[in-house]
Structure 1
């Protein structure tokens, strides 16, 4: 992993301090904490929109999100609750690993709920980072971007090619959220 840049470390520390202030001011109400996490996470990773999703048993519930528009936000709200089993993105996160979706419009994603949410909210790629407590993974922070992010890759024959990826997005998140899990390509 690349060494953390001083500006990234400072941004992460400021975001952490902001969230701790919210926790201190709302000791009996977790909703403001989840809202602060969504706002700060979105800013830290340079995302288009972020959501905080709680896991309870085999159910994923929407806890907080950065608003996009009334219509788009309604589509997001209506997509929850979701079953975790059978949802590869949520299953990956539940194991404590990062999950990325390269392009919601890719053919293999045609039947996934994330495609409709992505269309309504205006994003094409997303990253899920585990939200952990002392008891384990309790949910995920989902950050999205308007466009897929490209990275250069080499094919088996050595020709340069392009592959859909959220590598930069993933690297920033793993540095800023200090997760040690390896990224996995999967879908939610």
Structure 2
């Protein structure tokens, strides 16, 4: 395969060059827009790269393969539907040692003006598949970041129409910027996924601490429903049957069933592993759900809860489960802090307030042991803990969630004892 760049040798006209630069900047802008609009899905980013590549180089088809341990895996393909259907028959993975892998290893653009006249020693199964699929001209451009191979973009044409020097240079510049954006996005996504997995593990571990009280919360309405069912049967055995009492007992059974379902739904929403999503959240309702979920644990710990939730609180855009995790962690920390208090009341005060254009504010205050001055600067650091059996991840996870929602989280000591945790979230 010829790695020299064939095409026009004449210098571009100034106006043509300006047009090309505008097209290149437009392509970069569209790629950045795709990155911003798809925080949890890489596919739109892949498609944006290929759409721009196809347009910049006037290609009929374009494919993207990303580098992995075993070779180059195809992740996206765009262009002429007939060519795309043919190209999809190619193996998804170009294994190490294959032609594509060798091209990528060269780290240089590889231009094939006409597949029909390549050297005989290159006419292998890959060449046959390409020719049979209807490709005549191709351009392969490796994607590099810090000289590491990120992937490779393949451009193809149905006609024998070599890519020009200007098209190749234009796309090589675009590919260099796309590779940086792609790899940075991929690494950020991996970091975010690791954070999500850690946050999920934290939620499951926290809920596991309350297994006994949760079981009690569920068994209580079930037992009440059974008692009402027994009572309904007795009322039916009367002569004549007491229909009014039966109806009241059945109504109570339905209420108990709904209460059980509510508890199970809250547990399921908190412990399920799902990607974060933006939705309209009633923060007051989300807080009340968390309090209801761990009501049994609060009672067992002898904690009295008082709420002061602002009326007309503006809705916020965010992930309800993640925000509930912040509340869950702060309430659990408050319970554990107050468990060590033998004298005095154990009181938990939760409040919300509208902060106008700044969003909403939440405060969680307890009457526990309080915070040592030396611990305040490190309170939200990963793996820093003041608990003998703590992992030091709960508050760190809370901080990352709050900051991801455009807010901030901080803590202060209270007098004569206790701690106050506050966070803000941007309003919708």
Q: Under a length normalisation based on structure 1, what TM-score does the superposition of the two structures give?
A: 0.72
- Cα deviation code 1:85-117 (max 9, x no counterpart): 141x43232332111223222362432414323
| 1:111 aligned to which of 121, 124, 132 | 124
Match of 2:46 in 1: 34
Quote the offset at 1:28 in angstroms.
Answer: 2.4
Counterpart check, 1:139 vs 2:151: yes
Runs of 4+ in 1 over 4 A off after TM superposition: 1-4
104, 114, 139: which one pairs with 1:93? 104
Summarize the Cα distance change of 1:45–1:73 in structure 2 as closer, same or farther, 3 Å threshold: closer
Q: Does 1:178 align with 2:173?
A: yes
Mapped pair 1:78 → 2:89: yes
Contact 2:104–2:142 at 8 Å: present in 1 too?
yes
CA contact (8 A) 2:113 2:163 kept: no
Candidates 65, 71, 75, aligned match of 1:53: 65
Local SS of the residue matching 2:173: coil
Alignment partner, residue 17 of structure 1: 29
Secondary structure of the 1:177 match is helix
State how far apart, in whole Å, the 2-side matches of 1:180 and 1:22 are: 16
Judge conservation of contact 1:62–1:77 (CA < 8 Å) in 2: no
Q: Describe the superposition over 1:126-152 as per-residue Cα deviations: whole angstroms up to 9, x where unpaired.
A: 001112235722111111122223xxx
* Further displaced range: 28-37 or 72-81: 72-81
- Are residue 43 (structure 1) and residue 71 (structure 2) matched? no
Distance 1:173 1:68 in 2: 20
TM-score (norm 2): 0.34
Deviates more, 1:139-148 or 1:6-15: 139-148
Residue number in structure 1 paired with 2:338: none
Answer with 43-52 or 139-148: which moved more: 139-148
Give the secondary structure class of the aligned counterpart of 1:85: coil
Q: Which has the higher contact order (CA 8 A, sep 6+)?
A: 1
- Distance apart, 1:40 and its partner CA: 0.8
Change (3 A) 1:8 1:63: same
Deviation at 1:119, TM superposition (A): 2.9
Distance 1:16 1:10 in 2: 10
The aligned residue for residue 230 of structure 2 is none
CA distance in structure 2 between the partners assigned to 1:103 and 1:115 by the alignment: 13
Structure showing greater radius of gyration is 2
Tell me which protein shows more strand as a share of its residues.
1
Could you tell me how far apart the structure 2 residues matched to 1:58 and 1:97 are? 21
Distance in 2, Cα, partners of 1:180 & 1:19:
11
Change (3 A) 1:180 1:16: closer
Cα pair 2:141 2:154 within 8 Å, conserved:
yes
* CA–CA separation in structure 2 for the residues paired with 1:167 and 1:67: 17
Distance in 1, Cα, partners of 2:55 & 2:79:
13
